[in-house]
Amino acid sequence: MNATTERPEAVLFDVDGTLLDSVPLFIEMSAELIRELGAPPVPEAHIRALMSEATPDLLLKILPEDFPDAKQRVEALMAANMARFMERYHQESRLLPDAVETVQELAAGGFVLGLATSSGRALPFLDRCGLRDHFAAIVGREDVARHKPHPEPLLLCAERITRDPGRCMYVGDSLVDIRAARAAGMTAVAIPTGTSPRERLAEEGPDLLLGRLSELPSLLAT
């Protein structure tokens, strides 16, 4: 965080790759769909890079350009597998280290907390770990027409917690999280626990680049 940045009133979080260790599962499921389509295998690093950019129609971008009937086949496969994949997402994803302690410390420190995620609002992990009541607002993909890197999810979250975006901090693991925070006028905090390596996050120029989530409460206490 630069020296001129005011202490925020609110801390907003991304979910996947920031609080929840779900990125490996997304990569595994993408690779599984690629196999089912009969397409050539794709390096994990390439899938991660596309996820960090929040590329629309991720599977279509992964497939070769000349893949036959790509759009129709991907849509049919996604429709057939969505319920199964969502069940795995909710059951198998686990919290990242320090997530519970960090959220609890920030809440105890008087910060208003919120979630702005590209996933849906149904997040059973919040109930399993007892964190839901710490978040004053949760904005999911069903709440907005435009998704990150557009600032709409972040701005809606700030509106719901009645805080000026300029007094909010947004914590995320991807390039689009940084871009969305910047577009919303929020302090952009990045953490290399999801889709993007530390070096790539640094190139994007966040206000603060953490090594791990647990660094945040002590930094905000100073």
Positions annotated as catalytic residues are 14
Cis upstream peptide for 43 (omega within 30°): no
- Distance in angstroms (rounded) separating the CA atoms of residues 89 and 28: 11
- The closest of 209, 198, 196 to 47, measured between CA atoms, is 196
- With tokens 């795995």, the residue in question is 88
187-190 and 208-209 strand pairing: parallel
- Distance in angstroms (rounded) separating the CA atoms of residues 180 and 71: 28
- The closest of 203, 201, 213 to 52, measured between CA atoms, is 201
Is-contact 118 141, C-beta < 8 A?
yes
Q: Which residues contact 197 (CB under 8 A, 6 or more apart)?
A: none
